[in-house]
Amino acid sequence: MASPMRSLSVNPARYLQSFRLFLANSTEHQCMQGFMERQLPAVIASVGNGKSTINILSVGGGAGEIDLLILSKLQARYPGVTINNDVIEPSADQIFKYKERVAETTNLENIKFTWHEETAYEYESRMNAEKKSKKWDFIHMIQMLYYVKDVPATIRYFHSLLEAQGKLLIILVSGSSGWETLWKKFGSSFPLDDLCSYVSSADIKKILDSAGLKYQFHELPSYMDITSCFIEGNEDGELLLDFLTETCEFSKTAPPELKRQVMEELRKPECSEERDGKVLFNNNLSVMVIEP
């Protein structure tokens, strides 16, 4: 009998709902914000030296929360310099939210925003067709490499677009996170489709090393409160389970034995820790800053 399990990506509205719930229940953005406040200034210290215009490419910019923080750090380092900020983002809904956020934010006078409603691969194909290879001073790919078909080729392509002093920043789940444990064990049982694959910083390190690229590596501790996943029939818990397994309606459609094993795994110390009656899933992130 064919499995009734379907990939979460077949239901974009539910995916966004589960993603936003994940952000609300995790320290994902807080830990990224901490990195942007403390470590990003050193990363971007020389990307715009001697330039009257700085070109930034955000690959998978989402709703722009982290993008605007990055831009504020660039403005602080290079006051008054014109910044072109191009955003590649396939979700019209996310672009709409990004534009709303820009409209509500002050001090963006010297920044020109351009949105491209397309995937990274569509952007690359379009540039190649138009025989364009615009160079960028800073490119960032934050939590998006799960959604590309060919990870090494995507990294190679965007790395090739760096200016001589440019930097490519990648943020991804850590090889030491609960995601790694969960997906290495059950990934083959989850209904992934062409739109999504599981990769962690451990995979990216191998790709960068085999390409002989120079990079700095940072680990960011983060967790997600998944307590609600263990409350039968809890709507938030069901959405978070969908997000964890990339499966639409996981708790309703997964075979009972798989569901039992996943729920058991989620409680193990390799995935989560129990603190003050809460189950906190290890959502550690890795940051890689790649030289030209």
Q: Which stretch of DSSP H or E encloses residue 101?
A: helix 92-104
Place of tokens 């605007």: 68
Please report the sign of the dihedral spanned by the C-alpha atoms of residue 110, residue 113, residue 114, residue 118: positive
- Rounded to whole angstroms, the Cα distance separating 20 from 16 reads 6
- Residue 11, marked binder: no
Report the chain's terminal Cα–Cα distance, integer Å: 51
Q: Do residues 238 and 247 make contact, with C-beta atoms less than 8 angstroms apart?
A: no
Between 65-77 and 92-104, two packed helices, what is the crossing angle to 10 degrees?
A: 40
Between 28-38 and 65-77, two packed helices, what is the crossing angle to 10 degrees?
A: 10
- Residue 282, marked binder: no
Q: Do residues 254 and 247 make contact, with C-beta atoms less than 8 angstroms apart?
A: yes
SS3 at position 137: strand
- One-letter amino acid of 91: S
Helices (H) and strands (E) in the chain, counts: 12, 12
Provide the annotated binding site.
28, 283
Provide the annotated binding site for substrate.
28, 283
